[in-house]
Structure 1
Amino acid sequence: MTITLSVQQTTSPCSAPRENTFSHMSDSQLASAFGDNFKAFKDPKTGNATADKIREVAGRPLTGDPQRDKETQLAQEVLKRDRVMNALDSVDDNGKRDGIIGPWNPAMAAGALACKPCNGIHYGNVQVSTQISY
């Protein structure tokens, strides 16, 4: 008795479509995820991330390397959401976009995007304030 087993790979793991899990996040969660992965976008000379670096990372092909692909998909999702990109880039500069994202910006942007009333949070030309009366 002879048994022959034939296995054929029809697609390579790198070419298989991967779901971008970042697409299911809120804007605030996406800004936080950017902060968690800040080093992937950071210029070692300045310590800041840049809009150009985000675009560069977003343009990379998926490779099968889980961390690298996660960073690529994160960058792609950030660029799809102008509200998030705007917050990351301008939350600490009164709404002015300069392409420079400091290490503190993701946390500030996440707070501004969370839609939770915060006393004195400035975002662009808008100030969100709360007042409690008893």
Structure 2
Amino acid sequence: MYSLAKKLAGTMKAIIQIESEIVKAKIDQQGEEIILGMEQRRSGLINSVTRDELMVIQTVMNVGRSERGYRYHFNSEDVEIINLPIELNEHELMQKYSYYLIHKTKEELAHGIEYHTLVSSFLKEGIEILKL
């Protein structure tokens, strides 16, 4: 599974890139058609991969979401990442965080990635933790 994650690093970085373009377009208040086109491009990229590849992408997101500590500040939107020591190696992390994903269909995995609001931040953290 980890070797497939290494192969998919480019795809995950492409998803992150498209999401950053969407955020920038929203900040710059570009037209809805431009933003919709970017969102469709992102959706097409997510839906173009296989079920196994979606499972790996979701696993990397799960690692990024769960293997760090987060501190939320009262009356603030800031979230501080706490770099907790990681005791498992990359293969063990992939196995741990993919355990229940085996029961999901391709559509469920794609939907979970496509409509999650923090995909980029979780993917970035997961890529960093797994050294992809």
TM-score (structure 1 length as normaliser): 0.35
Query: Which one has a larger percent helix, Structure 1 or Structure 2?
Result: 2
More RCO (CA 8 Å, sep 6+): 2
